[in-house]
A and B are shown apart, each in its own frame.
Chain A
Amino acid sequence: MTSQPPFIRINSVSRVFNGGNGVHDLSLEIPRGSFVVLLGPSGCGKSTTLRLIAGLETADHGTIEIDGKDVTSAPPSKRGLSMVFQSYALFPHLSVAENIVFGLKVRKTKKDEIKTRLDDALRVTGLEGYEDRKPAQLSGGQRQRVALARAIVAGHPLCLMDEPLSNLDAKLRHAVRKDIRDLQQRLGITVVYVTHDQTEAMSMADIVILMKDGRIEQIGNPADLYLKPATAFAAGFVGSPPMTLIPANALPASVIPDGVNTNILTFGIRPEDLILSTEHKDQPWGIPATVTGNEFLGAETFVFVAIPGTDGATARLPGRVEISPGTEVSLSWAGAAAHWFDGEDGHRLTPTGPSTPAQDTKITSQPDTATSIL
């Protein structure tokens, strides 16, 4: 994949709106056949990026190439792509079949080809038997599939999706997520998918592009984003519940490794890496904290703790754990599980020196502490 030239290349593109939103000097490359998710909070420029690729917005500066061709000023129809809208944008006066073949008819495709393509699209999306219904007579999930069918019927190599699942209920969303991913792999198309839901990004993407304020925060596969967030923002945005981020000055100096000493330092820890212990004497070291509450979710329990001088932290413990609020606990973690970020610009810091001995002992004591709580 890396040896091939990129399918989409965006070269320092800017598109700024009156309010200052938009994208600023954005450059990225998308390989052919990949499932790329543009992730970020609202107003981060992810939809603008998608609309720039689609040609619904025109770049103020920079160039956009699709499949080796410069399409910066080409109209959407000349870019060889299809799009699924958040609202599905189905034509309410046309039947399902007419909606799907709308584009083929506009492009004056031959009648028998339209027929075969329509049948294919209906079969792939499981819409057979609904051809003559109007969109108003369909459920949300069915409408979504009509939008998908319309996107794949033309056989374009690129499909853009703008939050296509946000109008579905949670259960359906999970199923459709899988369907879309399967469809993309079966057809071998490139998908650029916009969402603000990090779960969708993590579960579907080959590549996640995390954006913030019109700039790219981090590009990587879901594991990279989760395990090595490039910034404190990425650390806080990906993962549910998100990584706990606390100012390092609330921690004892002994736990801070070498090479991360800046003026303001932020410490981050994933909820599942946080070790909770009620028995202080077992611990060579630990940070005192008070339990403020817990949530039992079946397979796991989230325990919320207050740490003096911080906004508190969340620990994820397997199974059912009951700790009454107000319990004094001691927090610790394996040295390698800690993330360190510059407190000012948020970028990731890598410790240079070895972890402190105090932290290394933690790795061995981890299973004990988990059981000691139970």
Chain B
Amino acid sequence: MNEMARLQQRRLALYGWMLAAPALALMSLFAFYPAIATFWHSLFTRGTSRRPSIFAGFENYGDLFADPTFWTVATNNLIYAGVTIPVSIIFALIMALWANAHIPARSFVRSAYFTPTILPMIAAANLWLFFYTPDLGVIDQITGFFGASPTNWLGQPETALASVIIVTIWKEAGFFMIFYLAALQTIPPDLREAARIEGAGRWTYTRRVLLPLLMPTTIFVFVNAMINSVKLIDHLFILTKGGPNNASKLILYWIWEMAFAYFDSPHAAAMTILVLLVLGLVAVAQFRLVEKWTHYR
């Protein structure tokens, strides 16, 4: 009997491994192995035909920290994340609240907001390239109407990063709105009425009831926005290519440049590892903190 039970248990464990095996194999092949290989690669010098690659320890990392471009790019990305994340979340929330209200042509409003999301980032960037074109673009046409002189929005260091940020917000807010819209529809209208009877105005209701109830969605959207602020660089290829003078260069674009434009893969690998490390730490901290603040139904 006892023997039988042990056998049974072992068989269950075996089933477990068998069920996990396909996913485990694929993950190992396409996620774990590349990550480890990248780390390993980042510890070697760049090999050329005259000087083969040798083990260099953390020298590549030291080089990165010594490079002023590293600090420019890191600052750019911090500003980029610091603006795109909150602004696109706030826009998404406001649009969702509006699209969820009983307004005429509600479905039209919703789909209009959602349109930027359907466009590929490359297409959106090309569209904005026309908007930003000095003198001829929509923006200069409008500002010119009021007497402003033409501006090369993408071509000068002062405005390049801001222009890229605006495109990202335009692209992301509609996508995040969908999540807020879905969450809003699960909140029973009774709560609104109960709050009204208790004397809560629109703002009090939003602040004390709606926002706390939307907190799980906000977390989800926040994590997504954060990941996107690092990984979404498609538009840079069309709009600025990181320029002028690195003014709009983001980390991932820089990594791409190092690896595939300058063929300096060890430094690119080191930078990749740094990004993974930071993202991992932030994700852990987020979920730890957020679990305390959030009410999940």
Closest to B189 in A: A89
- Known A87-B190, A92-B297, A93-B295; judge A54-B197 contact (CB<8 A): yes
Interface 9-mer from B126-134, B207-215, B246-254: B207-215
A86-115 interface (Cβ within 8 A of B):
86-87, 89, 91-93, 102-103, 106-107
Considering only CB atoms and an 8 Å cut-off, how many residues of chain B contact the other chain?
Answer: 19
Q: What per-residue 1/0 map shows which CB atoms of B185-206 lie under 8 Å from chain A?
A: 0001011011111111000100
Chain A residue contacts of B209, Cβ below 8 A: 91, 93
Q: Are A107 and B295 in contact (CB under 8 A)?
A: no
B194 nearest CB across to chain A (Å): 4
B253-297 interface (Cβ within 8 A of A):
295, 297
> In the docked arrangement, what's the CA distance between A103 and B188, Å?
19
Q: What per-residue 1/0 map shows which CB atoms of B31-57 lie under 8 Å from chain A?
A: 000000000000000000000000000
> In the docked arrangement, what's the CA distance between A110 and B297, Å?
31
A40-60 interface (Cβ within 8 A of B):
54-56
> In the docked arrangement, what's the CA distance between A102 and B208, Å?
9
Chain B residue contacts of A56, Cβ below 8 A: 193, 196-197
The total of interchain contacts (Cβ-Cβ below 8 angstroms) comes to 63
Q: Are B191 and A89 in contact (CB under 8 A)?
A: yes
Closest to A154 in B: B198
> In the docked arrangement, what's the CA distance between A11 and B110, Å?
42
> In the docked arrangement, what's the CA distance between A106 and B188, Å?
20
Other-chain residue from B193, B204, B213, B215 in contact with A85 (beta carbon distance below 8 A): B193
- Known A87-B190, A102-B208; judge A92-B196 contact (CB<8 A): no
- Known A56-B193, A89-B190; judge A106-B295 contact (CB<8 A): no
Could you name 22 residue pairs across A and B whose Cβ atoms are closer than 8 Å? A54-B197, A55-B197, A56-B193, A56-B196, A56-B197, A76-B196, A83-B193, A85-B190, A89-B190, A89-B191, A89-B193, A89-B194, A91-B209, A93-B212, A93-B215, A93-B295, A102-B198, A103-B199, A106-B208, A107-B199, A136-B297, A154-B198
Q: A56-B193, A136-B297, A154-B198 are in contact. List 4 more A-B contacts (CB 8 A).
A: A86-B190, A103-B198, A106-B204, A134-B295
What are the nearest 5 A-B pairs in CB distance?
Answer: A103-B198, A77-B199, A89-B190, A89-B194, A93-B295
Give residues in B with beta carbon < 8 Å to A: 188, 190-191, 193-200, 204, 208-209, 212-213, 215, 295, 297
